[in-house]
Amino acid sequence: MAQHQNTSIFSADLVGPAIRDSFTKLDPRRLIRNPVMFTTATVALLATVLLMRSIASGGDIAFEAQIVFWLWLTVLFGNFAEALAEGRGKAQAASLRSTKAELKGKRVKGDTVKVVPASELRAGDIVLVETGDQIPADGEVVEGVASVNEAAITGESAPVIRESGGDRSAVTAGTRVISDWIKVRVTAEPGEGFLDRMISLVEGASRAKTPNEVALTVLLTGLTLIFLIAVGTLPTFAAYAGGSISVPILVALFVALIPTTISALLSAIGIAGMDRLIRFNVLAKSGRAVEAAGDIDTLLLDKTGTITLGDRQATDFLPLSDVGEGELIEAARLASLGDETPEGRSIVELAGAGGTAPSGKEMVAFTAQTRVSGIDIGERKIRKGAVDAILKLHDFDAAAVRQIRSLTERIARAGGTPLAVADGTRLLGAIALKDIVKAGIKERFAELRRMGIRTVMITGDNPLTAAAISAETGVDDFLAEATPEDKLELIRKEQSGGKLVAMCGDGTNDAPTLAQSDVGVAMNTGTQAAREAGNMVDLDNNPTKLIEIVGIGKQLLMTRGALTTFSISNDVAKYFAILPAIFVALYPGLDALNVMGLSSPQSAILSAIIFNAVIIPLLVPLALRGVTYRPQSASRQLVRNLGIYGLGGLIVPFVGIKLIDVVVSGLGLA
Amino acid sequence: MNDILSGLRVTVATMAICVAGYTAAILGFAQAVTPATANGSLILRDDGSVIGSRPIAQGFTAQEYVWPRPSAVDYDAAGAGGSNLSPANPALADRAAALIAAHGREDTPIPADLVTASGAGLDPHISLEGALFQVDRVAEARGVDPSEVRAIIDRLGERPGAFFTPAPIVNVLELNLALDAELASPSATE
Amino acid sequence: MEHVFIVALIVGGTALLSLPLGAWMKLAMDPASDRMTRWTSLFARICGTTEEQGWKRYLVTMLIFNAIMFTVTFLILALQQVLPLNPDGMGPHDPTLVFNTAASFTTNTNLQHYSGEASMSYFSQLAGLMWLQFVSAATGIAALAALARGLAGRATLGNFLIDLQRASFLVLLPLALVVAVLMVLLGIPMTLQGSAVATTLEGVTQTIARGPVAAFLTIKQLGTNGGGFFGPNATHPLENPSFWTNGLAMIAIMLIPMACVWMFGGILGRMKHATVIFSVMAVFILIKIAGSVAFESAPTSAFAELPVSTETGNLEGKELRFGATGGPLWAVLTTSTSNGSVGAMHDSLNPLTGLMPMAGMWLNATFGGVGVGMINMFLYIVVAVFVAGMMVGRTPEYLGHRIEAKEVRLAVLALFFHAILILGGTALFAATSLGQATVQDPGAHGFSEILYEFSSAAANNGSGFEGLGDGTGPWNIATGIVMLLGRFLPIILPLAIVGSLMSKRRAAESAGTLGVEDATFGTMLAITVVIFGALTFLPAAALGPLAEHFSLP
């Protein structure tokens, strides 16, 4: 899946198999899944039988044969659209499957190691994977550490570290260990692993209709029934007028009126939507999840990594009133020499070159427990660290403590994180660390707001800092000092207010929140638990993608809606083409309805049915690409789509049918 | 069962209030305040016998009377109705041709209302033009000057919706009563 | 020019009047728990229950009460010859006519295969038909109130019998009293005396039917019932004696259907949404009026060869006292609202004018019948929201209710039934002697008569192309069944939709959700109404009114 291929839609290696599939898909058991196309095929069959009879008895064979031809073509075009959409996934599935077929594992039992095919590995088995081996099954690292190339899954060739314990323990079948060794406890039964799921996903084999798709199918089927009544009653009406309408013509009118265009493209749209997501390196576990993404009302975004760059940087030194700035800077520099975290290094960097550390020094390294680093130079103990941690070191002068408190509050208000510096029993001042907000993130949030999506920043910072950052980035709300329980609580609260919530997560402790959220995107580097809990996996581990995922979900639904509107609007023109053609024999005056001035009744009917068929392949690129999506409010979105696809759907067929009529009558086909 | 019982209770209540109470209230009001119209706007002779109802057309065929619009039910006020003929139906043309002949004035286009039946067949009015169209015939039959007839017609002409209906109309029964009252009728001179 | 004034005054004036009435209907039908408590407890005492009903219970109670309505009236009509208040000695009816008439008035249709003054006793008219004109209209208002409660997110739909009494006693009765008094003052008869017998100036005996007309016609108009006291309905000079009674009646026809939209918005607490719906309905009605008035100004085509003045338009079947606008305007109003009383003979309208009333009945939601018109529009809203919702890239939602397969299925089913009742019925009668033998006019117009009759029955309208000989047994039975299905399916299915919506978690609204309060949504709704409501009937229209029009010389 490395290939972010941009294969053109109609590339030869896809079109060939798709054409073949168009015929195999004529199997009624597959057609019945799409009631409108099934109806079209049934009607085409009926017309074919009648054509046979006409051939036997000698009717207007040329005209009838053309109708039959175009009816079948309508069905085939629908199959073709679906096959083409599936074809793109199938190529990817084939390469994944070849990866899978070769997998072998070294199963460890007691002291013996035995090579077995991956298909014999059961959950709970322990396998040894050494340099150069492919990991045979999904699992957790239980022992060892190794660098793993996951390109087979993610397309990213830079190796990642996988080790036992912590949040980087999950490994995926098909990836390759490139150095060291690990022991892996298998977690997936054969055929249920990540690779298997990916194969079936990209193939579209496990594609169940989404709720929206089911509802749309119901609507289209209902419309078909309504038009069945409208067309089916016509012979009696004509009989009243003392005439009759031949069955092939009725069939043509019926097929022209029922929503074949959208029905033919419906599954292609769905497959293409999933495919867009896959090519975006996000795996959705179901089509339902993709659609849910379009419905998201609230996005929970982790501050670090999503809104801000990963690490905080020192920006200011703020000495107490009786301390010189130089003294504070020097003390801060010295105290940070023992701090290897990015924050510590940024302090040293900001302090700039100073005197070398005096001899007799002893470094005190930063640890997460003490939250303090420093240096001992003889009796002198210089310390820097979290304000509370520093203040606990000594009983400092009360006035100084008051000062440092007001300094730290000022820093927090500005969105920074304060550190304190002390030299022995003297407080020197504070260091301001600041989050660096990602470029362009503010505009993204404004976009989301226009789309009606609320963003909530999740952070471990204190509320003052969080408020400052949220003001700076334009996020709608924040959850400060967040614990996993707080997150879960927040999601439940949003959901009880009728909102759909999306979030990203990677750690095991994110699993419950990922499971609770409506769209949970797990990072591929995350733990197995997280990947199981989410309904999407981001192979690039980029939490910012959540925003694009929402867009892809919306685009999928919009494409369906737009093509439905287009398809139904077409009926107006088709009526004006076919009705006068049918009725002019009964009431010559009705030629007044032939507003397009079509050359003959037969040509009119044929042109309408040809338009009805060829519009399908013409719209395939749109169905596969999706309609243009812009982040904007629903009402502007509607104006735009209604204008393009509603009005377009009214006008295009008038032009198209007229043009086809010119050709058809010019060629003497009717 | 409870639903049926409850339903029957509501049936009784609505019958009592919306049918009996409501009818009694309106009936009482009408008979007290507008007894004449409430009982059908009848026009009586001196002996108390009924000539007709002011808003109900009656047939006139005698030459000395202004004729009303045709009636599909022959002015049956106990079984009213229209012709319901479609506007293209040749039966309409046949009827109109007969009426045009009866009016005997093929020189001028006849006002459309004189050859079209109303919805109930009881339209008491004709257009003012329709009345004026008949002046010569009526005047001749009554042996009076047409201007006398015309004066009465003009006086009785009304605009039914004031400002909203520019075309004046005239009640045929009232007009004919006025003609009888004010002008010599041939039957009276005989 | 006077056309514009009259239309503006009648339609615009009624729209203005509908606002306060809508507010009152909201208060009366759906009072907050601390308002109108004395009325509520009185109504509860009368029906003996205060049960809070879910959608199924509400429907069951409604159907049982409607069955009682049908039965009681059936008995009254069937036994009128032995019942009191029969001064003109009306005899027994044909059984199929009794079935048809009871069905017709129970369903708020008031299709009349009889002539009132010729065959109905005063008791039948008042206790049978006029009673149903109150309670069938009240049924519609109650159903709408229930629908709105469900959409507003209440736990239950309320209690049908209490709602029915609220609608009868607090909405219809006070309005009827006011309008009937005005009608009496404008000269409409109100008497229990039998027919008067006159000797005309030319010495002919003329029997003049009369009766308690004012009370009857008032509720007939207010409740979109439309069944005339006299056979030719509001063209009869005693039922509609002047330009002014005609104007007042047109206002009465439109008033409650318009106010129902405001009541709906009021219960939902979404008046802007109601304004959008109201505007869409108003646009449709204005288009139909413009078409109707314009088409009807063409002269009667049968007179083309005759020396007949052409200035006054087509006057066949029309009353002079209503002016040139009265007939075509009334024809649109009465069919847009499922009223069905006629102010001119629709059969004699010019072909394209006749198409306007048919279109009104096909859509059946451009104000529509009291209560049910708004319910029908709800079906179009569900479909519009579904398609538009996808176009904005979300799972479609209406007022926070997710529209999914089940709701779409029920809505489309209701629209499907409307189509099949009209087209299926027309097909059966047009193809056989059942219909062919009963038409009056030649050519496409005869087909229009059949098409109109089924449209009227399915839309619960009640008007007709009355040249049709529809008093036969097959017509009585077929239209009776169509009326019953056309009445109850479009109440049952929407309430089932609401029942389904109520069981789901409601979604929050944001800038990303489809707004139902702006002109864009109004446009979408209008398109949906045209495509789902009108396109289905275009072939039939082509073979009826359009064929007739284009075949005119």
Task: Give the per-residue pLDDT at B52.
Answer: 96
- pLDDT of residue A355 exceeding 70, the answer is no
- Distance between CA atoms of residues A227 and A247, nearest Å: 15
Q: Pick from B126, B123, B125, B118: which is nearest to B82 by CA?
A: B118
Interface test with C, best of B2, B4, B5, B10 (most C CBs within 10 A): B10
Task: Give the per-residue pLDDT at B189.
Answer: 42
Report CB contact under 8 Å: C176, B121.
no
Q: Choose the weakest-confidence range: A71-75, A249-253, C393-397.
A: C393-397
pLDDT per position as a tens digit, A142-172: 888 888 887 777 666 677 788 877 667 788 8
Query: Backbone phi, then psi, for A113, in 5-degree steps?
Result: -120, 125
Active site residue A302: yes
Residue in this structure with the two tokens 């229009």, named with its chain if needed? C448
Task: Give the per-residue pLDDT at A45.
Answer: 96
**Residues from chain B contacting residue C549 (CB–CB below 8 Å):** none
Q: Which residue of A has its CA nearest to C544?
A: A237
- Distance between CA atoms of residues A329 and A124, nearest Å: 56
Q: What is this structure's pTM?
A: 0.90
**Residues from chain C contacting residue A591 (CB–CB below 8 Å):** 550
The secondary structure of A505-541 as a DSSP string is E-SGGGHHHHHHSSEEEEETTS-HHHHHHSSEEETT-
Q: Which residue of A has its CA nearest to C384?
A: A565
Q: Pick from C257, C242, C241, C245: which is nearest to C218 by CA?
A: C245
Report CB contact under 8 Å: C415, A500.
no
The amino acid at C267? I
Interface test with B, best of C59, C206, C233 (most B CBs within 10 A): C206
Per-residue confidence at C372, pLDDT binned at 50, 70, 90? Answer: very high
pLDDT per position as a tens digit, C6-26: 999 999 999 999 999 999 999
**Stretch 121-160 of chain B: residues touching chain C, C-beta under 8 Å:** 121-127, 129, 160
Residue C232 has its nearest CB partner, among B60, B81, B173, at B81
Task: Give the per-residue pLDDT at C229.
Answer: 95
**Residues from chain C contacting residue B110 (CB–CB below 8 Å):** 307-309
HEC string of A246-291 equals CHHHHHHHHHHHCCHHHHHHHHHHHHHHHHHHHHCCEEECCHHHHH
Which residues have CB under 8 Å from B57's CB, separation 6+? B68, B69, B71, B75, B118, B121, B122, B123, B124, B172, B173, C237
Q: Choose the weakest-confidence range: A212-226, A314-328, C369-383, C399-413.
A: A314-328
Task: Give the per-residue pLDDT at B190.
Answer: 39
Per-residue confidence at C528, pLDDT binned at 50, 70, 90? Answer: very high
Residue A428 — left, alpha, or beta (φ > 0 → left; ψ -120 to 50 → alpha)?
alpha
Residue in this structure with the two tokens 């005396």, named with its chain if needed? C193
List helix spans (H) across A584-647: 601-625, 634-641
- pLDDT of residue A315 exceeding 90, the answer is no
B28 touches chain C (CB under 8 A): no
Interface test with C, best of A219, A224, A265, A633 (most C CBs within 10 A): A219
Query: Residue B106 in 3-state DSSP?
Result: coil
- pLDDT of residue A240 exceeding 90, the answer is yes
**Residues from chain B contacting residue C233 (CB–CB below 8 Å):** 119
Give the residue-averaged pLDDT of C459-474. 93
Q: In this predicted model, which residue has the larger pLDDT, A179 or A509?
A: A179
**Stretch 59-98 of chain B: residues touching chain C, C-beta under 8 Å:** 59-62, 65, 69, 75-93, 96-97
Report CB contact under 8 Å: C536, A452.
no
Is B92 within 8 Å of C316 (Cβ atoms)? yes
pLDDT per position as a tens digit, A17-43: 889 889 988 999 888 989 999 999 999
Pairing state between β B50-53 and B42-44: antiparallel
Residue C510 has its nearest CB partner, among A233, A297, A586, at A297
Query: Backbone phi, then psi, for A572, in 5-degree steps?
Result: -60, -50
B111 touches chain C (CB under 8 A): yes
HEC string of A314-379 equals EEEEEECCCCCHHHHHHHHHHHHCCCCCHHHHHHHHHHCCCCCCCCCEEEECCCCCCCEEEEEECC
Task: Give the per-residue pLDDT at A8.
Answer: 60
Task: Give the per-residue pLDDT at A211.
Answer: 87
Q: Choose the weakest-confidence range: A62-76, A219-233, A487-501.
A: A487-501
Pick from A404-408, A478-482, C284-288, C502-506 the range whose average pLDDT is largest.
Answer: C284-288
The answer to whether chain B touches chain A by having 3 or more C-beta pairs less than 8 angstroms apart is: no
Residue C198 has its nearest CB partner, among B38, B51, B92, at B51
Task: Give the per-residue pLDDT at B188.
Answer: 46
Per-residue confidence at A6, pLDDT binned at 50, 70, 90? Answer: very low
Give the residue-averaged pLDDT of C123-149. 97
- pLDDT of residue C193 exceeding 50, the answer is yes
Q: In this predicted model, which residue has the larger pLDDT, C213 or A375?
A: C213
- Distance between CA atoms of residues A240 and A224, nearest Å: 25
Residue B82 has its nearest CB partner, among C134, C173, C317, at C317
Task: Give the per-residue pLDDT at A132.
Answer: 85
- Distance between CA atoms of residues A367 and A344, nearest Å: 12
Is B57 within 8 Å of B117 (Cβ atoms)? no
Task: Give the per-residue pLDDT at B23.
Answer: 97
* E strand map for A396-472: 416-423, 426-434, 454-458
The amino acid at C112? Q
Interface test with A, best of C276, C379, C380, C392 (most A CBs within 10 A): C392
Per-residue confidence at C495, pLDDT binned at 50, 70, 90? Answer: very high
**Residues from chain B contacting residue C180 (CB–CB below 8 Å):** 22, 26
Query: Backbone phi, then psi, for C380, in 5-degree steps?
Result: -65, -35
B39 touches chain C (CB under 8 A): yes
The amino acid at C242? S
Residue A558 has its nearest CB partner, among C391, C431, C505, at C391
> Chains that contact A by 3+ CB pairs under 8 Å?
C
Report CB contact under 8 Å: C428, A216.
no
- Identified catalytic residue from A125, A138, A302, A510: A302
Report CB contact under 8 Å: C394, A214.
no
Q: In this predicted model, which residue has the larger pLDDT, A388 or A575?
A: A575
Q: Pick from C364, C378, C465: which is nearest to C107 by CA?
A: C364
> Chains that contact C by 3+ CB pairs under 8 Å?
A, B
Regions in chain B scoring below 50 on pLDDT? 188-190
**Residues from chain C contacting residue A592 (CB–CB below 8 Å):** 550
**Residues from chain A contacting residue C423 (CB–CB below 8 Å):** 229-230, 233
Give the gap in angstroms from C-alpha C476 to the nearest C-alpha of chain B: 20
Q: What is the pLDDT of chain C when averaged over all its residues?
A: 94
Percent of chain A residues past pLDDT 70, beyond the cut? 94
pLDDT per position as a tens digit, C205-250: 999 999 999 999 999 999 999 999 999 999 999 999 999 999 999 9
Contacts made by residues A383-389, CB under 8 angstroms, sequence distance 24+:
A383/A335, A383/A421, A383/A422, A384/A331, A384/A332, A384/A335, A384/A336, A384/A339, A384/A347, A384/A419, A384/A420, A384/A421, A384/A422, A384/A431, A385/A419, A385/A420, A386/A419, A386/A420, A387/A418, A387/A419, A387/A420, A387/A430
Give the residue-averaged pLDDT of A381-410. 88
Report CB contact under 8 Å: A237, C508.
no
C-alpha separations of A43 from A70, B113, C353 in Å: 12, 54, 37
Cα atoms in the 13 Å half-sphere on the side-chain side of A321: 6
Per-residue confidence at A94, pLDDT binned at 50, 70, 90? Answer: confident
B171 touches chain C (CB under 8 A): no
- pLDDT of residue A562 exceeding 90, the answer is yes
Task: Give the per-residue pLDDT at A1.
Answer: 37
Percent of chain C residues past pLDDT 70, beyond the cut? 100
- pLDDT of residue A102 exceeding 80, the answer is no
- pLDDT of residue C453 exceeding 60, the answer is yes
B10 touches chain C (CB under 8 A): yes
- pLDDT of residue A414 exceeding 90, the answer is no
Report CB contact under 8 Å: C552, B88.
yes
Residue C520 has its nearest CB partner, among A295, A560, A635, at A635
Q: Choose the weakest-confidence range: A175-189, A231-245, C40-54.
A: A175-189
**Residues from chain A contacting residue C518 (CB–CB below 8 Å):** 635
Q: Choose the weakest-confidence range: A402-416, A654-668, C262-276, C346-360.
A: A402-416
Chain-centre distance for alpha carbon C43: 27
Is C32 within 8 Å of C355 (Cβ atoms)? no
Report CB contact under 8 Å: A558, C426.
no
Residue A558 has its nearest CB partner, among C393, C538, C547, at C393
Task: Give the per-residue pLDDT at A200.
Answer: 73
Q: What is the pLDDT of chain A when averaged over all its residues?
A: 86
Diameter over CA atoms, chain A? 118
Report CB contact under 8 Å: A237, C426.
yes
